[in-house]
Amino acid sequence: RNFSQSVSCLTPAADSDFPSLVEEDHKLTRIVIRHELEDARETKKNNESNDSVIDWNGSLNNLSYSVLTQFRVLYNISVLSEALIQLLVIMELRCSEDYSLFISQGVIEDHLKILLEQIRQRTDIDDLDFTDYERTVFEEIFSLFIGHYKKRVRDDAPWFLPLRENISSIESIFHTIYTLFQLKICSNQSTSKILLEDTIKTRLQMDINDSFSVHPFVFQDRNDIQLNAVRKFLEFVEKLAESMSIIKKYQELFASFNVSYIKICFFEPNSAGDHLTEVTRCLLKNMTDYLQKYAKPMVKATSSIYDPNLIQSSRVLLKLYLCLKRIITALRDTLETRDWQTNAFEFKLIDYHNWFSPTMKFLLEGFVAQIRQAMERAVEDDNEVFHDEDFIRYSQSSKAATNLCMKLCQEWESVDYPDINIRYIALIKLTNTICEQCQHYARRTAHKLAENEYFTDLNRTRSFDVSKKLCILVNDIEYFKQRLLSSLPDLLHFSSVIDKMIENYESTGFQQTKVTLERLINTAENEMNDVIKLIFEHVATLFCVSLKDKILKYYKDEKCKKVEPMKDINQYIDQEILLKLYEGLEKVQYSRVACAIRVKVLQCLREFLPSQEPPDFYVRVLQSFDRLAAYFETVCREEQHIPGSPCEEITIFQRTLQQYALSTEQ
């Protein structure tokens, strides 16, 4: 194409020919810009690029610019008309199949800015003095331009799902269309606005269909395939649920063109709400038999070993349920009450909790299996080795198990399932499972202590290394008690669930359930306390050798009538035993470990008490022992300001000493 030859043939025309000249300018501009686009296509082909999008920046080369400028100057076409014609040509070519991939939204915006700048420079912006041809062509191309957004063009972002990163793309399109309306070039804007509403609805429907066609979401009976398909669907629903955080922004954005984004996307026929309903119901129907197969222990004798498919399926269904709940809550909160009440009956997804009813018991079994698995691992993993320099009060296994169990309880409560009967069953099942597993944890710990599985060679292990490990065991058990068992009534909302059952069935008999559950918790706590006591007995036993030497030396010093012979024992117990044990224990355990050490000290004192000594020897021992007894009375108090109950072992030993002091006959 030789534009310079074309220009040389141009001759001036009379003013009466001006409308036809604008039409010729339109044709010439279309030829010039097509030439630019073909050059861009050729450049891409020479670069051997596989990208289907051709990135034209909207500018003209020198020759193209010269041709259009000469035509405008020669025939006295205004700069404003030239800007309008160039914008219209770009809009027109954007709508064509041949060139839609060449022209980005940014190029359209740039040329619109040029037109707006020319309008701004006019003295009378209300009278732009466009010809009838320009107005007619604008109306035709504007209608075509609006309609071309019925499907995605080039790199335009989809309008569904609502995503924060897509807002700017949609705003750009809407701003361009709004600005073109504001020019008031169209003679019949109402028709264009109706076309725009129809375009938006069609585009949203197309983007919704595209979103659900990316994955077929076919749920088959084969385990892996089915579960993987469910996971893919869940990823999509999670993304949709997350998008609800900006649904209000989308609603406001589309409302500027008299379109309810929420209504079109979720309430109208074949909307996202209908698609979600169809796929979710299909999924739940197919998964009922699948879950029933795996909702049983793999090994009958060990109730904590479940097929992993049960736990995985339960987690997937929980997330799906919570996502649907989040979507519905967000839509209800975004719409005004009247709009929600008007449209809710068309929203099939609102019945989602009824669809989950057949699978809810299996979902609950997944929670139970996961709790059992977590507690089982806590027992298996509590052989962690701790070094002297480590300042650790709890093992990672106990903290992980406790926190996971609490998280599972919180997740179950977040379901807030409307059927109170299912919540009642869950209350009993989860409480019973956690109490049962805490008792199992305590029994396994006691068994490992009895079999000395924690330390296979005590002779090579220093007493404080051993006691440090045992103190961590105590803290772990206390952690389970305080963080998990004691918090169950609040975590699982005992009172509200029981009250609701009483209200539903008009029977106070359910109050006994609460009493039974609290008794279960107390039983588990008592069994764990017994294990703590057993552990402290082991801790005290570790100091037997050193205590024996100290006590034998003490009795020897008493025979020699040394001053304050019990002082070394007292100081050793206080500084070398209890103080170091306190460093590894929580404060609640101080009195308990002190009581265990007291029992062991009394055993050693009785065992090594010399016989056949003169009465004054036993008098001195009794006096020294009274001071030791007073010390133990203080450190064994559960509350420092409240005296503890009398220790029977101390009373018995004191009576023995008194008898020896009164008689020389042993």
Mean pLDDT of 228-243: 90
Range of weakest confidence among 128-137, 235-244, 394-403, 535-544: 535-544
Question: Can you tell me the distance from the alpha carbon of 329 to that of 349, in angstroms, rounded to the nearest whole number?
Answer: 11
For position 457, what pLDDT does the model report? 46
Q: Per the structure block, which two tokens stand in for 585? A: 């224990």
pLDDT at 83 over 70: yes
Question: Can you tell me the distance from the alpha carbon of 28 to that of 56, in angstroms, rounded to the nearest whole number?
Answer: 19
Please report how many Cα atoms fall inside a 13 Å half-sphere around the Cα of residue 1, on the Cβ side: 14
CB of 391 closer than 8 Å to CB of 336: no
Tens of pLDDT, residue by residue over 367-382, are 999 999 888 888 776 6
Mean pLDDT of 80-109: 93
* Local confidence band at 247 (pLDDT 50, 70, 90 cut-offs): very high
pLDDT at 521 over 60: yes
Give one DSSP letter per residue of 225-278, joined into a string: HHHHHHHHHHHHHHHHHHHGGGHHHHHHHHHTTT--HHIIIIISTTSHHHHHHH
Helix crossing, 79-94 with 18-46: angle to 10°? 50
Give one DSSP letter per residue of 394-424, joined into a string: S-HHHHHHHHHHHHHHHHHHHH--S-HHHHH
Burial class (CB in 10 A: 0-12, 13-18, 19+), 281: middle
* Local confidence band at 301 (pLDDT 50, 70, 90 cut-offs): very low
Cβ atoms < 10 Å from Cβ of 1: 11
Mean pLDDT of 586-598: 90
For residues 190-223, one letter each, b for 16 or more C-beta atoms within 10 angstroms of the residue's C-beta and e for the rest, the string is eebbeebbebbbebbbbbbeebbeeeebebeeee
- Indicate whether this model's pTM tops 0.75: yes
**DSSP state, 157?**
P
Distances (CA, A) of 561 to 78, 391, 439, 558: 125, 43, 52, 5
Q: Please report which residue ranges of 295-419 form alpha helices under DSSP H.
A: 308-334, 337-343, 352-355, 357-380, 396-415
Q: What is the CA radius of gyration of the chain?
A: 42
* Local confidence band at 106 (pLDDT 50, 70, 90 cut-offs): very high
pLDDT at 5 over 50: no
For position 214, what pLDDT does the model report? 67
CA end-to-end span of the chain: 133
CB of 195 closer than 8 Å to CB of 147: yes
Tens of pLDDT, residue by residue over 528-557, are 999 999 888 888 887 887 888 899 999 999
For position 18, what pLDDT does the model report? 54
**DSSP state, 564?**
S
Question: Can you tell me the distance from the alpha carbon of 432 to that of 521, in angstroms, rounded to the nearest whole number?
Answer: 8
Tens of pLDDT, residue by residue over 435-492, are 999 999 888 888 887 776 665 444 444 555 567 778 888 899 999 999 999 999 999 9
pLDDT at 261 over 90: yes
For position 470, what pLDDT does the model report? 80
Hey, what amino acid is at 350? I
Q: Go through the domains of the chain in sequence order and give each one's CATH number.
A: 3-210 (no CATH), 215-355 (no CATH), 366-542 (1.10.357.50), 543-662 (no CATH)
For position 664, what pLDDT does the model report? 52
Q: Which residue has the higher pLDDT, 343 or 492?
A: 492
Q: Per the structure block, which two tokens stand in for 437? A: 């597993």
**DSSP state, 166?**
G
Tens of pLDDT, residue by residue over 421-434, are 999 999 999 999 99
For position 125, what pLDDT does the model report? 66
Question: Can you tell me the distance from the alpha carbon of 161 to that of 211, in angstroms, rounded to the nearest whole number?
Answer: 8
Tens of pLDDT, residue by residue over 455-469, are 544 444 455 556 777
For position 55, what pLDDT does the model report? 79
pLDDT at 416 over 50: yes
For position 477, what pLDDT does the model report? 92
Mean pLDDT of 610-627: 91
Distances (CA, A) of 47 to 58, 83, 179, 502, 522: 20, 32, 37, 77, 78
CB of 519 closer than 8 Å to CB of 512: no
Q: Taking every pair of C-alpha atoms in the chain, what is the biggest distance, in angstroms?
A: 150
Mean pLDDT of 35-50: 81
For position 1, what pLDDT does the model report? 45
Percent of all residues in the chain with a pLDDT value above 70, rounded to a whole number = 87
For position 666, what pLDDT does the model report? 43
Question: Can you tell me the distance from the alpha carbon of 448 to that of 184, in angstroms, rounded to the nearest whole number?
Answer: 87
For position 3, what pLDDT does the model report? 46
- As a whole number, the mean pLDDT across the chain is 86
Give the bridge partners for 299, in sequence order: 302
